[in-house]
Structures are given as structure tokens and as C-alpha cells.
Amino acid sequence: MSVSPASRITSIDRRRRRQSALSVAEVVVALGLTGILLIVLVTISLTTGRSLAEMFHYVDLDHYNRIALDVMTRDLRQVRYLSDYQTNSVSFVDHSSNTLTFAYSPTNRLLTRVQAGRTNTLLKDCDFLRFEIYQRTPQSNSYTLYTASQLTNCKVISVTWSCSRSLFGLKANTEQGQTARIVIRNKKEAE
């Protein structure tokens, strides 16, 4: 029996089609692997995005903390004397006989600077801030200063604060607590 060339081509095409088609099991395995790969890629992308956002916020907090400390240091070194003290607010008389006040509001989480009727916000997202006043004299055999019992004895202002921000609804970024002791250099007695 001889097979015609046309029927031979048709049977070869049928065999190729059967061999080239995917079975249901192969399709399910391919879809499963693709799904797993997509889940891994999305997880890596979300984790990387969150890490980058956290780093940005941390650097931003650090930047504003340094600026606030620089402004307070510059201003406090040049004041004449301390006129009012509370743990969340300090007021001074500056070289021009104007009042200079640094005040912390725990409800608004802000540290503000008020001088000559102008208010500037130095810190936002501030969770905690405390001022303390000291004399310049250190206690014997230590670096600890004596606490100033009166405003006129104050020559050193200590300020401690901590800031944080929320990221995606969670408190994720906390700047390490900042602490500084600032010496009043141009101290003159209250008039």
C-alpha cells in the first residue's frame, strides 16, 4: 500500500501539532511558577521601597535636628541672661534687649523660636523635649555640672529631645535622642 504525498504531509502536521501543544499539567505548573515569581518580585519591591522611604525620613529628621541645634546654639551663646525657665520653655534677653523664647508644645509636637514678634518652627514631629539649667562649675572629679538654683546663676542650658515620624501608619522612624549643653558666653547680670 502506498501512501500519497498529500496524506503523508497531513499526518506529519498532525504529529507536530500533538507534540507542540502543552498539556494541562504543564500549563498549571507554568502558571504556578510565574505566580511565585511575581509574588517574590512584589515582596522585594515593597520591602525595598519601604526601606528607602525609612532612610529618607531618617536623613530628613537628622537634617532638621542639626539645623535646630545650630540655631539654638548660635542664639543661646549670644544672649545676655535667662529671664524665665520651665522644662519645656526658656526665655532670654538678647543683646538688643529683646525677648528670645524657645518653647516646646507636646500637643503639637513642635519646638518654636520667638524673637521680636516673629515665630519660627525649629522642630516638627518632636515627641519629647526638656530644658535644664546649670551653673558653669563642675562637681569635683566629674563632668557633671551643678544645677542652677536661681535664674541669675544659669550659665549653661541643657536641651534634650527625641523626634519620630510615621510611615504607612506606623511609627517607623525615630531619630536618636539629641542632647546638648550650650554655654551662655555673653552673660551679663539681669538689670
Percent of the chain at pLDDT > 90 equals: 40
- pTM for the model stands at 0.72
pLDDT at position 49: 87
How far is residue 159 from each of residues 77, 115, 133, measured CA to CA in Å? 14, 19, 9
Q: Is the pLDDT of residue 33 over 90?
A: yes
What mean pLDDT value characterizes the chain? 84
Strand partners, 28: none
Domain map (residue ranges) of the chain: 59-183
Cα separation, 23 vs 169, in Å, equals: 47
Report strand pairing: 89-93 vs 156-167.
unpaired
Top pLDDT among 58 and 39 is at 39
How far apart, in whole angstroms, are the C-alpha atoms of residue 191 and residue 189?
6
Dist CA 184 CA 73 (whole Å): 9
Rounded CA-CA distance 49/91 in Å is 43
Tell which wins on pLDDT, 68 or 173.
68
Query: What value does the mean pLDDT take over residues 23-48?
Result: 91
| Rounded mean pLDDT, 100-120 | 93
Q: What is the per-residue pLDDT across 53-62, written as a single tens digit (0 to 9) for each?
A: 888 888 888 8
Name every residue whose Cβ is closer than 8 Å to that of residue 155 and which is 6 or more positions away in sequence: 134, 135, 136, 148, 183, 184, 187
- CA atoms within 13 A of residue 57's CA, in its CB half-sphere: 21
Q: What are the pLDDT digits (tens) for 159-170?
A: 999 888 887 777
The more confidently predicted of residues 181 and 191 is 181
